[in-house]
């Protein structure tokens, strides 16, 4: 085991990918000489050179489009988009090109591109750089959408994504970057098809992903002190959802709280809650509860930002309500 951080785990995943396959290239704004906006690619330019670690112009549409074309031509591009809001500038390339070519070509053209982007709030970056747009991409057929919440997934999701012949979008929560812990020296590729039960329980299921997984784990600790046993499920992959794992947990606990950092309306949390109601209605002993970000642009002021985002106390209150 080695002491590391989420940021370093992401970097090692990139390093391993670049070292293991000459077709892999990393491209994006400031990924090279600057070492990445969040220092994830620090040192990779010096190790692999400017042909493999490519600083791009400030045009998401251009470099995402170039990566899609390169992927169709046999390259294995990893695109880094600085923050999720900037991905909107490449939405046409991702949704109308990367996600559709396999279908429109009758299965002849694959687009093996991996698009990484930093997501989430909690860092006082205000309304324009604090979005959680995972639900937009999880809505699109043709994309696989994943969200690493642990060191193992931060290190290993990239390898599995690169092995996929079709486009994969990875959401890396910025608030997790300094998270430290132990990671096995032989940590490698991880399964992208299964959700994970991160804590077992009997009274209520807490479902989340990304940074809010840790909010749920904190809430589960607080609930345990009150004698409430909470099971915590990490979605990991947002499209396609691993419904069997979610539904099996709810069937055991008979109650569910879905926690989502995105806005409540039309989000991943709504999809998960609907699926639980559709498939395990007769197992439920209480309505499915949802905890989400308030329906406001994320404030800059730190106390207002905290008030807008789901906190452990909010999850505890929701869980107590459904258990009661």
Our answer to whether residue 173 is catalytic in this structure is: no
Write down the catalytic residue from 129, 131, 173, 214.
129
Question: Is residue 122 within 8 Å of residue 305, measured between CB atoms?
Answer: yes
Task: Taking residues 96-113, report their average pLDDT.
Answer: 97
In this model, does residue 23 exceed pLDDT 90?
yes
Task: Taking residues 214-228, report their average pLDDT.
Answer: 97
Task: Taking residues 309-324, report their average pLDDT.
Answer: 97
Domain with CATH 3.40.50.970 in the chain: 2-183
In this model, does residue 186 exceed pLDDT 90?
no
Please give the sequence-ordered ranges of beta strands (E in DSSP) within the chain, or none if there are none.
2-5, 24-28, 53-55, 76-81, 114-119, 144-146, 168-173, 180-183, 196-199, 204-208, 230-234, 237-239, 256-263, 289-293
Q: What is the pTM of this model?
A: 0.96
Question: Out of 122-131, 145-154, 157-166, 253-262, which region has the weakest mean confidence (pLDDT)?
Answer: 122-131
**Chain Cα centroid distance, residue 243:** 17
Q: Look at residue 301 in the predicted model and tell me its pLDDT.
A: 96
Our answer to whether residue 8 is catalytic in this structure is: no
User: Percentage of the chain with pLDDT > 70?
Assistant: 100
Question: Is residue 40 within 8 Å of residue 26, measured between CB atoms?
Answer: no
187-197 pLDDT tens trace: 899 999 999 99
Domain with CATH 3.40.50.920 in the chain: 196-323
In this model, does residue 178 exceed pLDDT 90?
yes
| Residue 20, Cβ density class (10 Å: 0-12 exposed, 13-18 middle, ≥19 buried) | exposed
Question: Is residue 212 within 8 Å of residue 292, measured between CB atoms?
Answer: no
Q: Which residues contact 43 (CB under 8 A, 6 or more apart)?
A: 11, 35
Write down the catalytic residue from 8, 29, 60, 261.
60
Q: Phi and psi (nearest 5°) for 197?
A: -85, 105
In this model, does residue 4 exceed pLDDT 90?
yes
Q: Categorize the per-residue pLDDT at 185 as very low, low, confident or very high, splitting at 50, 70 and 90.
A: confident
Q: Is domain 196-323 classified as CATH 3.40.50.920? A: yes
User: What tokens were used for 54?
Assistant: 């490519």
Question: What is the Cα–Cα distance from 249 to 279, expressed in whole angstroms?
Answer: 12
Question: Is residue 231 within 8 Å of residue 245, measured between CB atoms?
Answer: no
Q: Is domain 2-183 classified as CATH 3.40.1440.60? A: no
């Amino acid at each position: 085991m080695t002491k590391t951080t989420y940021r370093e785990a992401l970097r090692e995943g990139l390093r391993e990918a670049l070292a293991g396959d000459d077709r892999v290239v990393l491209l994006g704004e400031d990924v090279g000489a600057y070492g990445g906006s969040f220092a994830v690619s620090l040192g990779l330019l010096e190790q692999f050179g400017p042909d493999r670690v490519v600083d791009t112009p400030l045009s998401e549409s251009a470099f995402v489009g170039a990566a899609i074309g390169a992927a169709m031509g046999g390259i294995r591009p990893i695109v880094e988009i600085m923050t999720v809001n900037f991905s909107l500038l490449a939405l046409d390339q991702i949704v109308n090109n990367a996600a559709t070519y396999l279908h429109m070509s009758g299965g002849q053209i694959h687009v093996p591109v991996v698009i990484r982007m930093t997501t989430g709030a909690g860092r006082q970056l205000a309304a324009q750089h604090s979005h959680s747009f995972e639900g937009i991409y999880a809505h699109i057929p043709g994309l696989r959408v994943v969200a690493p919440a642990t060191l193992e997934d931060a290190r290993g999701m990239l390898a599995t994504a690169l092995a996929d012949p079709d486009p994969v979008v990875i959401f890396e929560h910025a608030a997790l970057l300094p998270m430290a812990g132990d990671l096995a020296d032989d940590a490698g590729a991880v399964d992208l098809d299964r959700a994970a039960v991160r804590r077992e329980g009997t009274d209520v299921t807490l479902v989340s992903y990304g940074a809010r997984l840790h909010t749920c784990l904190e809430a589960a600790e607080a609930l345990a002190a009150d004698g409430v046993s909470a099971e915590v499920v990490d979605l990991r992959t947002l499209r396609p959802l691993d419904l069997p794992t979610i539904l099996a947990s709810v069937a055991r606990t008979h109650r569910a709280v879905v926690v989502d950092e995105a806005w409540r309306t039309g989000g991943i949390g709504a999809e998960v809650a609907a699926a639980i109601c559709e498939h395990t209605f007769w197992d439920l002993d209480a309505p499915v509860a949802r905890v989400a970000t308030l329906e406001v642009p994320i404030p800059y002021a730190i106390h207002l930002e905290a008030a807008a985002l789901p906190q452990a106390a909010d999850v505890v209150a929701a869980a107590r309500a459904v258990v009661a």
